[in-house]
């Protein structure tokens, strides 16, 4: 058997460190100890009695699976390296190179997550993150996903229990977490229609996308196509779930039409897919139950489309006719399975447009929404963005037609407070309805909730 002492010692050391940390509490205990020491020092300086931090909070239990998942990935790589080392040391070092790159990302995200957990629980206003958590539960809830603040841009590591809300966090960025949820799903679905389309669309984009075809060396084209497919699927899924709230959050808060990755204007293609999904696939039911697009939604979509195209003109970027056909096929290809996916309903079917428009006008007029008789957190976020659109429409009209002389920063601050208050009221209303519901209905006739069923 071929043995490489240097590589063997390195792997043994790594495994020993992981064995010490195989219990997630090892990480969390140390984090809590550091927090205790910091708090004790603060209290001592103030001459006050130190109160121990409660370590039994839900996030501690919640993160157990996350760290177990990290360790599992590293050990899996280690086993592959040991197997390769029995055959040829050169192959083992090649395998180790992959492990080294992946563990760098894993532990970078690991410690960023630990810092996020500490900030969420002890330093930051928890409301934003609770609202993101509630959105996950509203969509389905099977993954027990929780949002944590992060200073890093999300990497390619996908842990289904963690959704990163990049700092500085704000209400308007929360709908964008649906993209991470979409990444979880496309990774978890290893069979059926979603994976079939993932493979076929990766090959189609590799061969026909005008920008990907120009990537050199050619070996990088497949990676670029695969990553683009994952991003575009997440955008179709986010728009499917949240409708205009996701589109507004993505286009005004996240996507950069000037940025390129490997020579590809990824964000420009993503925005095109989001708008195409919103314009052609999201049809909220109207007052009579029909699926005609309500005027308010149509006006919002048209405004967003118009001004995004002006932005593209400023940055001299855009989607050519050939790529537009590919992206249209992409939306059609993936939206079919999503529409049949039991467990997830689109914004149009689940929420309609009633609460979005009704609450949005109230918020835009500077009033708080009272006397809730229904609605969801998805409705609240859409109403918040609809109100912001109504204010922007008059502010950026040509010629300008402002109805409020209040400075824009103060307007936004006031609207944000009213929108956060609406989210809180929706959660309280939902809890009240849940408490009044018979116990058997809470678990679908007493049985545990089952995960959504993918289309074969």
Local confidence band at 428 (pLDDT 50, 70, 90 cut-offs) = very high
Q: Would residue 139 count as lying in a domain?
A: no
Query: In this predicted structure, which of 36-45, 175-184, 394-403 has the lowest mean pLDDT?
Result: 36-45
Question: 24 is in which domain, residue-wise?
Answer: 1-42+54-123
Residues 343 and 393 grouped into a single domain: no
Residues 251 and 334 grouped into a single domain: yes
Residues 323 and 228 grouped into a single domain: yes
Cα–Cα distance measured from residue 232 to residue 31, given in angstroms and rounded to the nearest whole number: 37
> Phi and psi (nearest 5°) for 144?
50, 40
Cα–Cα distance measured from residue 269 to residue 41, given in angstroms and rounded to the nearest whole number: 51
pLDDT tens-digit map of 15-74: 666 555 555 455 555 544 544 444 454 444 444 433 333 334 444 555 565 666 666 766
Residues 330 and 384 grouped into a single domain: no
Residues 205 and 312 grouped into a single domain: yes
Residues 387 and 333 grouped into a single domain: no
At residue 41, the pLDDT reads 47
Residues 336 and 358 grouped into a single domain: no
Q: Would residue 453 count as lying in a domain?
A: no
Q: Exposure string (b/e) for 208-233, b if CB count within 10 Å is 16 or more?
A: ebebbeebeeeeebeebbbbbbbbbb
Cα–Cα distance measured from residue 394 to residue 379, given in angstroms and rounded to the nearest whole number: 23
Residue among 196, 229, 200 at smallest CA distance from 212:
229
Is the model's pLDDT at 230 over the cut of 60? yes
Residues 7 and 87 grouped into a single domain: yes
Beta-strand ranges (E) seen in 376-418 are: none
For residue 163, give the 3-state DSSP assignment.
strand
pLDDT tens-digit map of 274-284: 999 999 888 76
Tally the domains of the chain. 3
For residue 453, give the 3-state DSSP assignment.
strand
Query: In this predicted structure, which of 29-33, 253-257, 337-341, 403-407 has the lowest mean pLDDT?
Result: 29-33
Give how far Cα 110 sits from Cα of 70, 103, 104, 150, 188, Å: 8, 10, 10, 11, 20
Mean pLDDT across the stretch 150-172?
Answer: 63
Residue among 252, 241, 276 at smallest CA distance from 388:
252
Q: How many CB atoms are located within 10 Å of the residue 58 CB?
A: 11
For residues 186 and 230, the answer to whether their CB atoms sit within 8 Å is yes
- Whole-structure pTM over 0.75, yes or no? yes
Residues 329 and 377 grouped into a single domain: no
Residues 397 and 328 grouped into a single domain: no
Mean pLDDT across the chain, nearest whole number?
77
At residue 46, the pLDDT reads 42
**What DSSP string runs through 41-106?**
HHHHHHT---------SHHHHHHHHHHHHHHHHHHHHHHHHHHHHHH-HHHHHHHHHHHHHHHHHH
Residues 195 and 343 grouped into a single domain: yes
At residue 302, the pLDDT reads 93
Q: Which helix (H) or strand (E) holds 162?
A: strand 162-166
Is the model's pLDDT at 422 over the cut of 90? yes
Q: Would residue 265 count as lying in a domain?
A: yes
Local confidence band at 408 (pLDDT 50, 70, 90 cut-offs) = confident
């Amino acid at each position: 058997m071929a043995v490489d002492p240097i590589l063997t010692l390195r792997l043994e050391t790594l495994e020993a460190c992981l064995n010490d940390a195989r219990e997630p509490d090892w990480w969390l205990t140390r984090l809590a100890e550091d927090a205790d020491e910091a708090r004790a020092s603060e209290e001592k300086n103030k001459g006050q009695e130190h109160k121990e931090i409660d370590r039994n909070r839900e996030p501690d239990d919640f993160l157990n699976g996350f760290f177990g998942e990290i360790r599992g990935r590293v050990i899996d790589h280690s086993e592959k390296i040991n197997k390769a080392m029995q055959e040829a040391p050169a192959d083992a070092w090649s395998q180790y190179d992959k492990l080294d790159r992946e563990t760098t990302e894993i532990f970078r995200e690991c410690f960023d997550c630990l810092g996020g957990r500490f900030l969420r629980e002890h330093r930051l206003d928890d409301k934003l993150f609770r609202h993101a958590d509630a959105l996950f539960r509203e969509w389905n809830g099977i993954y027990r996903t929780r949002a944590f603040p992060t200073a890093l841009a999300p990497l390619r590591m996908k842990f289904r229990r963690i959704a990163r809300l990049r700092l500085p966090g704000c209400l308007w960025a929360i709908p964008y977490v649906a993209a991470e949820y979409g990444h979880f799903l496309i990774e978890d679905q290893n069979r059926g229609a979603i994976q079939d389309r993932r493979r076929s669309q990766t090959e189609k984009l590799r061969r026909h996308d005008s920008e990907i075809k120009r990537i050199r060396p050619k070996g990088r084209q497949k990676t670029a196509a695969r990553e683009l497919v994952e991003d575009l699927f997440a955008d179709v899924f986010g728009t499917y779930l949240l409708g205009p709230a996701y589109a507004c959050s993505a286009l005004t808060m996240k996507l950069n039409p000037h940025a390129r990755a490997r020579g590809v204007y990824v964000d420009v293609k993503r925005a095109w897919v989001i708008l195409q999904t919103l314009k052609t696939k999201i049809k909220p039911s109207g007052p009579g139950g029909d699926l005609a697009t309500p005027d308010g939604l149509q006006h919002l979509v048209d405004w967003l489309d118009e001004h995004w195209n002006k932005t593209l003109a400023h940055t001299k970027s855009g989607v050519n006719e050939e790529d537009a056909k590919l992206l249209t096929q992409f939306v059609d290809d993936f939206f079919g399975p999503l529409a049949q996916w039991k467990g997830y309903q689109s914004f149009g079917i689940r929420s309609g447009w009633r609460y979005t428009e009704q609450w949005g006008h109230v918020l835009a007029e500077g009033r708080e929404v009272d006397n809730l008789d229904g609605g969801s957190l998805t409705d609240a976020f859409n109403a918040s963005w609809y109100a912001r659109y109504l204010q922007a429409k008059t502010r950026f009209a040509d010629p300008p037609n402002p109805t409020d002389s209040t400075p824009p920063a103060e307007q936004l601050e006031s609207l944000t407070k009213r929108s956060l208050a609406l989210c809180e009221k929706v959660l309280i209303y939902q809890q009240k309805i849940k408490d009044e519901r018979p116990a058997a209905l809470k678990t679908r006739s007493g049985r545990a909730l089952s995960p959504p069923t993918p289309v074969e």
